[in-house]
Amino acid sequence: MRVWFITGASRGFGALIAEAALKAGDAVVATARDPPTVTARLGTHERLLATRLDVTSEAEAHEAAGQAVKAFGRIDILVNNAGYGLLGAIEEASQAETQKLFGTNVFGLLGVTRAVLPHMRRQRSGHIINISSVGGYTGYPGWGVYGATKFAVEGLSEALAGEVAPLGIKVTVVEPGFFRTNFLDESSLSRTAMQIEDYSESVGKTRAHAADFNGGQRGDPRKLAQAFLKLADARTPPLRLPLGSDTVERIEAKNAFVAKELAEWRTVATSTDFSSDSA
């Protein structure tokens, strides 16, 4: 029996992953700001611990991790799922909106990871799964600040993977595309208070598309939950796991663009090295 520790587990991806793990016979520590919302969604179960965690409080993260170990003896899989979106141009996003977003999506993830890592280090085992986004691999107009939080998650995950590998701990960053969850409705998506007319042809189109697109996303969230079980079962899990054909398409397109641009600018890129002529 593995022990999962999942943040933001009362709805969306978090609840579906928790549900799938329980059905697989594992134990789940499902965290949320309001624990009764977890039991309302998942019910009560001897292998389920619903506990309070506002990820912006590192003290609460340490408390929740301690409760998990007290209840089940260990933490095998950490799923850093809690987060939300912000739609708006970079210029439109206020300092307060930006700081709040980073507080949850980046600093919250760091706080929970710091709370769980001592237990995994002691075990010399564990798997940290950080949920990023297709927006953490390639930028979109209107998703710049949100994407910046996910780009941060990608970089943190890469570095962390190298740091903890000698300790028997694995790290995967998951990059979902658009799935039919509540991400695009008001429960998970904030919009900048300011809207600048000059961005109507770029960010304005993204806003309109997000409203029209909701409910028609390609991704099936229940299939995502099953993919997480396969990831947890993997003896050698990937550093990155894109989920959704839309994510795969965007990654392939960006990789091709980067390769083309690098080829065009390779001479300039390599011209800055020290040489005998410049000594």
Radius of gyration of the chain (CA): 20
Phi, psi (rounded to 5 degrees) for 66: -65, -40
Q: Are 244 and 252 in contact (CB under 8 A)?
A: no
Kindly report, residue by residue over 253-275, the tens digit of the pLDDT: 999 999 999 999 999 999 999 88
User: Which residues fall within 8 angstroms of residue 251, CB to CB, at 6 or more apart?
Assistant: 134, 137, 138, 175, 242
Q: Are 219 and 13 in contact (CB under 8 A)?
A: no
**Among all residues, which ones are annotated catalytic?**
132, 146, 150
Distance CA 156, CA 210 (A): 28
Confidence of residue 221 (pLDDT cuts 50, 70, 90): confident
Structure tokens at 163: 């740091």
Per DSSP, the residues of 20-70 read HHHHTT-EEEEEESSHHHHHHHH---TTEEEEE--TT-HHHHHHHHHHHHH
Structure tokens at 164: 């903890």
Q: Are 142 and 87 in contact (CB under 8 A)?
A: yes
pLDDT over 70 (residue 102): yes
Residue written as tokens 């993919």? 227
C-alpha angle 246-194-13 in degrees, rounded to nearest 5: 35
Q: Tell me what pLDDT residue 117 has.
A: 98
Confidence (pTM): 0.92
